[in-house]
Structure 1
Amino acid sequence: MRSTFRGFKRQLAIGAAVGAIGGFATPSLAQDADKSSKISSGNEEILVTARKVTERLQESPVAVTAIGADRLERIGATDLSDLSGRAPNVTINTIGNFGSSISVFIRGIGNGDPDSTVDPSVGIYVDGVYLPRTANSSLDLFDVEQVEILRGPQGVLFGRNTTGGAINYRTKRPTGQFDMRGSITLGDFGQRDIRFAAETPLIDDVLAVKVAAFSQHLDGYYLNTFTGIPGRRNATSAGMSNTFTFRPSLRFTPTDNFD
C-alpha cells in the first residue's frame, strides 16, 4: 500500500523546478480575479465554497475543513490519501493493491470496496464534477487551489452518495500572468514523479490558458520470482503504477461580472 511505503522509503526530492522566467509560483489565492476560495493561515480570512457560494468559513453552517495550496505544500501532500487525519473524524486510505483508488470514511461512514457496482458514501467532486466510483479516485494534489472536506450528510447541495460527507477538490485557475513551475521526485522501487504547469495570457485581462501535466511511475513493492519482473505477474500489472495526466484550462473574462 502506498501509505505504508511512504513510511520507510528514502525519497529523494530533487524539487528541481522548471523555474524559468516566472520562477516557482507562490500560492496566492488573494490575487484571483473571481475572489474564489482563499485558504490561508493565521488571522487572515478563510473563504470556502461548501454551499455553492463563496463565503467566510466562520459564517458557514457546514462542518468543513479547508486545506489550501500553501498548507498542502508544507505537509508534503501528493494525493488525497495524504489528507487522512487532517480533518476531524476523517480517514483516507489506498484500497489494497489498487493504488489509484481510495476509501474515504467520515465519522465512520464510508466505503472500502473498489467494485464499480458499489456506490461510495462520501462523494468526491473535481471542480464541481462528481466522481461516481472509487476507481481512479486517488487524485494528485499538484496544481490544486484548495480541498474542502465536508463532514456529515451533504445531499441537499451535492446530491446522492454523500451520506458521510463530501470532498470538494478545486484546481487552480489561470491567473492571466505568465508562469512556469514543476518538480521531479525520485524514490525507491523505481519511483519517478514529474509535475509541470505553465500558463500565459492570450489576450490581456480577457483570455488566459493554462496546462498542467503529471507523470507517475512505480515498479511495485515486490519482485515476482516467476517472471523476474518487479511488481508484475505474467502479463498483468500488480503493485506497479504508470500514469500520465494532462489538464488544460481556459479562462475567459470579457467583463468584470462574467467569468
Structure 2
Amino acid sequence: MMFGWGRSKRPGPRPVEEAAGNLFEPLALLSALDQLLPWYLKETDDRRLVYPACNRRLNDAEGNVRAIWEHTRLEACRYVTMVPRRDVELLVSAVRQSEMMDAFLKQAPHEETVIEFEGVPAVDYANAITAGLNWLDHCAFLAGVDPDKFGRTRRDFRRLVVLAQQWWAIDNAGPRAYEMVANHEVPPLMFCLVWQNYTRLAKEVAIAAIYGSSLDRGIEQLRQHFRTTLSSEAGQLQASLSALTDTAIRLKNASDPDDLVRS
C-alpha cells in the first residue's frame, strides 16, 4: 500500500484513509496530501511530534522507521502542495508531461528549501520539486546518511526526467500511460517520478535516524547488545535475534513505508 496513513497509532484525517485504496490514481494521492499536511503540521507546531522527523529517536512519539519514513516523505511533498495557482494537470496529465518536464529541465538548479513562487505553475512546480529534493538532502545530513547515497540527488533526478521525456516522445505514449494506470502500473508522470524518488530517499533518512548510516552496522550493534544483556536467557535472546533478522530483511525489501506493516 502506497499511502497507509490510516494504520498509524496517531490517526490522520479520514480522507487520507479513503484515498489509500486508490493507489494508482495520482490525483487521489495529491488530494490525500492536501488533507494530511495541515494535520501533520499542526501536530508538529503543537510539539506532539518532533520536527523534522529525521530528528526523532526511539523514545519519541512516532519514533520508528516507518513513521519517520512516512513523515520525511510528507515534509518533502509539502512544497508541491504549496504552489499557488495550482495546475495539477501538469503533474498528472499525459498531455501536459512534455510541458512540465521541459520547464523542469530549463530551471536553473538551486539549493533552497525556502522558495518564492513566481505565479507560473510549471515554473513553480519545478522549483517546488527541487526544494523537496533539497529538503531530503538536509534531512539526510541531519540523520547522518552516508554521503555516497545522497551525493547526486538533484543530478540523478534530472537524468530520470530526461529519460521520462524520451518515453513521452514515443508514438502513442499517452494512450499507453492510461493503459498502464488501468492495469495498476505506474507511468512516468512527473508526480509519479517525484513520489517514487522522495519515497526512496526518505527511506535512507529513516534508516539512518534509527540505525545509523548503515543498516547492517546498526542491526549488528543491536545483536551484540542483545547477546550481552540476554546471555543468560537463551529463549529470549533467540527470539530477539530472529526479530532483528526479520526487521533487516523487511527493511531492505520495502519499497514503501506500508510494506513494514505486518498483515
The alignment's TM-score, normalised by the length of structure 2, stands at 0.23
Q: Using CA pairs under 8 Å that are at least 6 residues apart, name the structure with larger relative contact order, 1 or 2.
A: 2
Q: Greater strand percent: which structure?
A: 1
Q: Greater helix percent: which structure?
A: 2
